[in-house]
């Protein structure tokens, strides 16, 4: 009974029901564009406030704690002389009753920057340490097709000796070695291994390409290898903790001096920070004075020597006349 009669429409309802077929988003939501613009303005305002806000002032770090218990982040990290640090590592081992023949490690943080945007590429190096700390011998592969050279390589401890027949096995990872050395006659045939071996590919710069097979084997079988990790860090072991302090120091300086050769001496030193530790101890920051090679002093001596020569020349000329 309450249902409206078929075809009956309330007055004015026809106009309200007459909606256009196509309605734009702006017409359907008249406040959307304005809200979006306001949101952008608010975001821009927040960014400007953050940019204009001065950076938080950090409390300057104190140099040396007074008490035995303190917050480490309030103080500068102490640095130690090399001999003092090695002595501390030995003392830690005695107090903690840890293994006395554990390895000693260094973490070397590098400054790889050169002029403008250039930088030193990550590298690896090999060096003979003055004091060996392990009986491990590196596995060396020798490339040669000369039977006499192959016999010399076997006599001097080469793990694998062969010619181009080894290329297939190396590419398929059937043969692997710590170092690869070669004689000049076979190097043009080893080009397929360039991408596979990368830094270990025989070359004269690494002294892995030459005619003296015996000398190359003596070096690479006992050398110590290190490499840059994470673009600017070298982590390597250098000695055993039970070795004499002077032997540990000599090994460390030998490695550091070799690392410094990878950056030209007219730039800032490549070693920026140096930390020493044992397998079970904390890391100790080292004072770099006396560890890095004294390049500047050598240059000053050369300049002084050149000036002295220039001063002596007029005297010699006057005597000769």
Whether the CB-CB separation of 75 and 64 falls below 8 Å is answered with yes
Q: What confidence score (pLDDT) does residue 227 get?
A: 94
- DSSP string of 28-62? HSTTHHHHHHHHHHHHHHHHHHHHHSPPPPPPPPB
Q: What confidence score (pLDDT) does residue 314 get?
A: 47
Which two three-digit tokens encode residue 51?
A: 């940019």
**Stretch 114-119: mean pLDDT:** 86
Which two three-digit tokens encode residue 130?
A: 């003055």
Residue 64's pLDDT band (cuts 50, 70, 90): confident
pLDDT score of 249 more than 90: yes
Supply the DSSP symbol for 4: P
pLDDT score of 271 more than 80: yes
Residue 137, CA distances (Å) to 47, 79, 177, 247 in order: 60, 35, 11, 20
Residue 94, CA distances (Å) to 99, 232, 244, 278, 279 in order: 9, 33, 15, 12, 14
Supply the DSSP symbol for 209: B
Provide, rounded to the nearest whole percent, the portion of the chain with pLDDT above 70.
75
Strand partners, 247: none
**Stretch 240-261: mean pLDDT:** 96
Domain residue extents for the chain? 78-122+232-294, 132-224
Whether the CB-CB separation of 247 and 239 falls below 8 Å is answered with yes
pLDDT score of 181 more than 80: yes
**Which CATH number does the domain 132-224 belong to among 3.40.50.790, 3.40.50.2300, 1.10.10.10, 1.20.120.530?**
3.40.50.790
Q: What mean pLDDT is reported for the chain?
A: 83
- Rg of the Cα atoms in the chain: 36
CB-side neighbour CA atoms (13 Å) of 210:
13
Residue of 315 and 86 predicted with greater confidence: 86
The C-alpha atoms of residue 270 and residue 98 are separated, in whole angstroms, by 34
The C-alpha atoms of residue 287 and residue 78 are separated, in whole angstroms, by 9
Fold equal for 78-122+232-294 and 132-224: no
Residue 244's pLDDT band (cuts 50, 70, 90): very high
Residue of 171 and 310 predicted with greater confidence: 171
Span 78-122+232-294: which CATH code?
3.30.190.20
Whether the CB-CB separation of 37 and 26 falls below 8 Å is answered with no
């Amino acid at each position: 009974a309450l249902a409206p009669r078929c075809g009956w429409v309330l007055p004015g309802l026809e106009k309200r029901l007459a909606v256009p077929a196509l309605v734009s988003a702006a017409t359907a939501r008249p406040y959307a564009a304005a809200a979006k613009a306001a949101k952008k303005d608010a975001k821009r305002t927040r960014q400007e406030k953050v940019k204009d806000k001065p950076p938080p002032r950090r409390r300057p770090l104190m140099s040396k704690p007074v008490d035995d218990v303190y917050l480490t982040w309030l103080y500068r990290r102490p640095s130690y002389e090399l001999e003092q640090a090695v002595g501390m590592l030995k003392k830690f081992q005695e107090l903690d009753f840890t293994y006395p023949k554990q390895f000693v490690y260094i973490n070397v943080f590098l400054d790889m920057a050169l002029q403008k945007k250039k930088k030193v590429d990550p590298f690896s190096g090999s060096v003979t340490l003055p004091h060996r700390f392990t009986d491990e011998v590196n596995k060396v592969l020798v490339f040669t097709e000369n039977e006499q050279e192959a016999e010399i390589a076997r006599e001097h401890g080469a793990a694998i000796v062969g010619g181009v027949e080894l290329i297939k096995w190396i590419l398929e990872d059937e043969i692997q070695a710590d170092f690869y050395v070669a004689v000049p006659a076979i190097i043009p045939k080893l080009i397929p291994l360039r991408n596979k071996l990368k830094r270990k590919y025989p070359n004269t710069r690494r002294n892995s390409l030459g005619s003296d097979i015996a000398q190359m084997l003596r070096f690479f079988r006992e050398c110590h290898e290190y490499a840059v990790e994470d673009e600017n860090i070298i982590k390597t072991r250098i000695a055993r903790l039970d070795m004499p302090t002077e032997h540990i120091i000599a090994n460390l300086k030998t490695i550091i001096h070799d690392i410094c050769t990878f950056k030209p001496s007219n730039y800032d030193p490549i070693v920026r920070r140096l930390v020493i530790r044992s397998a079970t101890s904390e890391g100790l920051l080292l004072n770099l004075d006396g560890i890095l090679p004294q390049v500047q002093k050598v240059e000053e001596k050369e300049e002084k020597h050149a000036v002295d020569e220039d001063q002596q020349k007029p005297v010699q000329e006057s005597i000769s006349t």
